[in-house]
Homo-oligomer: A and B are copies of this chain.
Amino acid sequence: MSFTYGDNIKISIFGQSHSEKMGVMIENLPAGFALDEDKLARFMARRAPGNDSFSTPRKEADAVRIVSGLVGGKTCGSPFCAEIENTNTRSADYASLQDTPRPSHADYAAWAKWGDSRDVSGGGQFSGRLTAPMCIAGGVLKQMLEAEGIYIGAHIASIASEEDDCFDACLVSQADFVDTKEFPTLNDEAAERMKAVILAAKSRGDSVGGSIECAVCGMPAGIGDTYFGGLENRISSTVFAIPAVKAIEFGAGTKAGQMLGSEHNDPFTVTKTGDIRTVTNHHGGILGGLSSGMPILFRAWFKPTPSIAIEQQTVSLSRRKNTTLAIKGRHDPCIVKRAVPCVEAAAAIAIANLIL
């Protein structure tokens, strides 16, 4: 239930930030699917730290090496396993963290759980690095879902108080996706304002949070389960696996709590082609845990990157005394941009379990 997910398509993640390798095994993939490895590489590249000013200077080739599960480029019914080497590690950057937990990081909680056995280097198993294997799994499953006519796309919805436009809740389609943009927003002017906010925080040694909106298009109606197996339960189960996510909203989300039933309810209608749809989509494509056939829409909220250069108050675990800490090392001033494919991957993992 920790590094393993799924009952139908089973994902098992391994690795730490500075372990020799990290990777993912996927069990139960349908056999005979021709994986497009170039497409997978392009998907991975969206998550990789770029050459721009908005992310960590730690560079990783992050080349995905598939070591089992394919024969002649096609899935063969055996578990798929792919791995990434961790090459550019600077564990010395982390030595001091053994004793002084970083505020808002998992350091202290990990110490409480495992004591000195925990892996401190690079954040160990809590590192954002571990979203790479999630993206391998998500990238593979996205391709398979696309073969079923299901498309998943996300964009930066906000950085601090700067907001992007939203997807059209009723009409969003694959054509609206911005996965080829360097800075994936719907509105290019919003992108410029967001970049300015990030650079301003960076220049002060600070960081900023934000949010990501994600759409799943082409989902047939009636997919999902009730109760603990609802689509909201499943998607939140995978999205909260991305470090720094602190809230998730489906459809109207928190705003639904401020509405009247007569405002919020989405009337049904029959289209000219005889399909049943809703006129509005406050329900975000999910009713009773099941898909309604409308686009699934959700928004994930990210806290600001906890690693900041500004001096912070913390404690010495060994001496049980207050002390201060100014974090060195290479960190993202804002994780949101790189998290966009991770959110898509998380959605793909949750949905593939119901579809494939």
Tell me the A residues contacting B by CB distance below 8 Å: 1-5, 7, 10, 12-16, 19-23, 25, 27-28, 31-32, 66-69, 71, 74-81, 83, 101, 103-106, 108-119, 121, 124-126, 130, 158, 160-161, 201, 204, 206-211, 220-230, 232-234, 236-238, 240-241, 243, 245-254, 256-270, 274, 276, 278-279, 282-284, 287-293, 301-308, 310, 312-315, 317, 320-322
In the assembled complex, the Cα of A219 lies from the Cα of B208 at a distance in Å of 29
By beta carbon, the residue of chain B nearest A134 is B227
Query: Across the interface, do B21 and A68 meet the contact criterion of CB distance under 8 Å?
Result: yes
**B254 and A247 form a contact (CB under 8 A):** yes
Main secondary structure of the interface of A (DSSP, over half): mixed
A104 engages B27 (CB within 8 Å): no
**A19→B108 contact, CB < 8 A:** no
Find out whether the CB atom of A119 lies under 8 angstroms from the CB atom of B260. Answer: no
Alpha-carbon separation in the docked complex, A291 to B106 (Å): 9
In the complex, what's the smallest C-beta–C-beta distance from A297 to chain B, in angstroms?
A: 11
Q: Provide the residues of chain B in CB contact with A317, threshold 8 Å.
A: 276
Contacts of A303 in B (CB 8 A): 252, 256-257, 259, 264, 282-283
Chain B residues within an 8 Å CB radius of A243: 288
Q: How many copies of this chain are found per oligomer? A: 4
CB-contact partner of A160 in B20, B160, B260, B312, under 8 A: B260
Contact A292 B261 (CB under 8 A): no
Q: Who on chain B is nearest to A109 by CB? A: B290
What 4 A-B pairs have minimum CB-CB distances, sorted nearest first? A106-B288, A112-B222, A2-B229, A113-B222
Q: How far is the CB of A209 from chain B (nearest CB, A)?
A: 4
Q: Which residues of B contact A81 (CB under 8 A)?
A: 14-15, 21, 23
Q: List 30 A-B contacts (CB under 8 A).
A: A2-B225, A3-B227, A14-B69, A20-B66, A20-B67, A31-B117, A76-B119, A76-B124, A103-B266, A104-B282, A109-B222, A109-B288, A109-B293, A112-B291, A113-B223, A158-B257, A160-B260, A207-B262, A237-B237, A246-B249, A246-B252, A246-B256, A246-B283, A259-B304, A260-B304, A261-B307, A261-B308, A267-B313, A276-B320, A283-B303
B301 touches A253 (CB 8 A): yes
Instruction: Check if A4 sits within 8 Å of B10, measured CB to CB.
Output: yes
Pick from B7, B14, B304: contact of A25, CB under 8 Å: B14
Q: Are B322 and A269 in contact (CB under 8 A)?
A: yes
New A-B contacts (7) at CB < 8 Å, excluding given A31-B114, A261-B304: A4-B12, A15-B67, A108-B287, A247-B257, A253-B301, A256-B301, A267-B312
With a cutoff of 8 Å between Cβ atoms, the chain B residues found around residue A268 in the complex are 101, 103, 108, 313-315, 322
A278 and B258 CA atoms in complex are apart in Å by 32
Contact of A209 among B110, B257, B287 (CB under 8 A): B257
